[in-house]
């Protein structure tokens, strides 16, 4: 009894509720559709997933969209569909989530990192040219890495925080060296580049519907492509390599017959997840508008503090998955700022620990600190502020007041 009173008092004293770094937005539409899916008796991949794929492809403007159970699965299938395996190399940035490079390792290939641009934290196209000229042999039909002899096959461009990469420059480089382009668009659903939607800018584009992403199905992902052959291969590999999908097999008009063409994966998205996804997709424009508004409030409210604010380029539409700031104060470190925000019950996160600083990538590929100085310098100073559509203006003001309180120079 006394204990309860005591904790109630403590909670009462700290009147601020915890503001998380991210939270999903579900409404009655998702709930009703989920119940309808449950009551339809079709809970795994079926009619709702098909509709989700069609509506997603229409939103993006891509020929094909294949729903899978994560963006990691989409990235893995992208690399597999390109027939990338042992002896092959895929280029990406170290400033990404581990899935981007892990899937390359899963295929027996080697991820090679190229550093980022200091302004957008996206892959630096001029470094791609430098890296190929300095570290590779080009025989007029393919590019091999000096020393290892690994054959460069693809580049994975990561749209950091939701801002599209310099896709024209990356595509030009890839075309020059006969490479495929994969876009890790986990942050960038709804973004566009020079009037073209993310999802149509690369050979294969991979989206995430993880819990904290711009739209969510709990876990989920989507792969888009305009190549019919790659789409067919991705679809085949997404469900055991079975040549007819289960829905066709078990529906009344279907037949029991099937074949296993390849040892594929179990990466299909359920209709329960697609039920949620269908309505998240319809709400995406409103989610993005709210994210953009919060980002604008942050940008103006944080001006003048010892921070480097994210830069949004004028020729592309940013999806504002993250609002990353770099701390440049001489008095307070990034880690100290995170701690002080936490004391004020404000959640933050760090995107990303560069992959070349992780145990596995150091052990397996001999990386060390110093290898990718831009990624390292940014990583040392960066944190992501709370940003999600349900945040109120008061929540944003609370973050701004806390940031000013902690960071304002005397």
Window 325-344: contact mask with ligand PLP (x via CB under 6 A) = --------------------
Alpha-carbon span 407 to 368, nearest angstrom: 32
Q: How far apart are the first and last CA of the chain?
A: 46
Interaction between residue 223 and ligand PLP (CB under 6 A):
no
At closest approach, how far in Å is the CB of 138 from ligand PLP? Answer: 29
Interaction between residue 124 and ligand PLP (CB under 6 A):
no
Residues 219, 209: contact at Cβ < 8 Å? yes
Interaction between residue 163 and ligand PLP (CB under 6 A):
no
Residues 159, 184: contact at Cβ < 8 Å? yes
Q: Is 213 a catalytic residue?
A: yes
Bridge partner residues of 92 (DSSP): 113
Contact positions with ligand PLP (CB under 6 A) in 267-296: none
Omega prior to 352 cis, within 30 of 0: yes
Could you say which of 76, 187, 235, 279 contacts ligand PLP (CB under 6 A)? 187
- For the purposes of burial, counting CB atoms within 10 Å of the CB of 362, is it exposed (0-12), middle (13-18) or buried (19 or more)? middle
Positive or negative CA dihedral for 358, 363, 368, 374? negative
Task: Count residues near ligand PLP (CB under 6 A).
Answer: 14
Structure tokens at 157: 């461009």
Only segment of 68-76, 139-147, 232-240, 323-331 that touches ligand PLP (CB under 6 A)? 68-76
Cβ–Cβ contacts within 10 Å for residue 353, how many?
A: 14
- From the list 194, 213, 266, 342, the catalytic residue is 213
Only segment of 69-77, 131-139, 142-150, 168-176 that touches ligand PLP (CB under 6 A)? 69-77
Only segment of 92-100, 225-233, 247-255, 376-384 that touches ligand PLP (CB under 6 A)? 92-100
Interaction between residue 71 and ligand PLP (CB under 6 A):
yes
Interaction between residue 184 and ligand PLP (CB under 6 A):
yes
Residues 185, 205: contact at Cβ < 8 Å? yes
Residues 79, 103: contact at Cβ < 8 Å? yes
Tell me which residues are annotated as active site: 213
Query: Interface residues with ligand PLP (CB under 6 A)?
Result: 70-72, 96-97, 99-100, 158, 184, 186-187, 208, 210, 221
């Amino acid at each position: 009894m006394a204990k309860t009173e005591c904790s109630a008092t403590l909670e009462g004293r700290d009147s601020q509720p915890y503001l998380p770094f991210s939270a999903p937005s579900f409404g009655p539409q998702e709930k009703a559709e989920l119940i309808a899916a449950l009551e339809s008796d079709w809970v795994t991949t079926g009619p709702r997933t098909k509709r989700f794929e069609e509506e997603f492809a229409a939103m993006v403007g891509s020929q094909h969209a294949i729903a899978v159970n994560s963006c990691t699965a989409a990235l893995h299938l992208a690399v597999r569909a390109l027939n990338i395996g042992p002896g092959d190399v895929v280029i990406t940035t170290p400033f990404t989530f581990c899935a981007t490079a892990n899937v390359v390792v899963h295929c027996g290939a080697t991820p090679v990192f190229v550093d980022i641009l200091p302004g957008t934290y996206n892959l630096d196209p001029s470094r791609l040219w430098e890296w190929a000229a300095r570290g590779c042999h080009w025989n007029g039909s393919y590019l091999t890495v000096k020393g290892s002899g690994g054959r460069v096959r693809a580049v994975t461009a990561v749209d950091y925080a939701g801002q599209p990469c310099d896709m024209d420059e990356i595509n030009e480089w890839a075309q020059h060296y006969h490479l495929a382009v994969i876009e890790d668009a986990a942050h960038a659903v709804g973004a566009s580049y020079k009037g073209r939607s993310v999802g149509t800018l690369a050979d294969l584009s991979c989206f995430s519907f993880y819990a904290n992403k711009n739209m969510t199905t709990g876990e989920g992902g989507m792969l888009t492509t305009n190549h019919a052959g790659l789409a067919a291969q991705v679809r085949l590999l997404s469900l055991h390599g079975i040549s007819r999908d289960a829905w066709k097999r078990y529906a009344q008009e279907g037949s029991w017959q099937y074949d296993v063409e390849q040892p594929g994966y179990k990466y299909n998205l359920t209709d329960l997840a697609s039920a949620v996804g269908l309505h998240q997709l319809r709400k995406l424009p409103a989610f993005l508008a709210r994210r953009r508004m919060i980002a604008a409030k942050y940008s103006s409210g944080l001006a003048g503090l010892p921070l480097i604010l994210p830069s949004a380029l004028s020729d592309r539409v940013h999806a504002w998955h993250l609002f990353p700031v770099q701390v440049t104060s001489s008095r307070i470190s990034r880690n100290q700022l995170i701690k002080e925000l936490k004391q004020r019950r404000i959640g933050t996160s760090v995107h990303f620990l560069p992959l070349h600083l992780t145990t596995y990538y150091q052990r397996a590929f001999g990386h060390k600190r110093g290898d990718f100085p831009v990624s390292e310098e940014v990583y040392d100073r960066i944190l992501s502020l709370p940003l999600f559509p349900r945040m109120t203006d008061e929540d944003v003001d609370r973050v701004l007041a806390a940031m000013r309180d902690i960071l304002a120079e005397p």
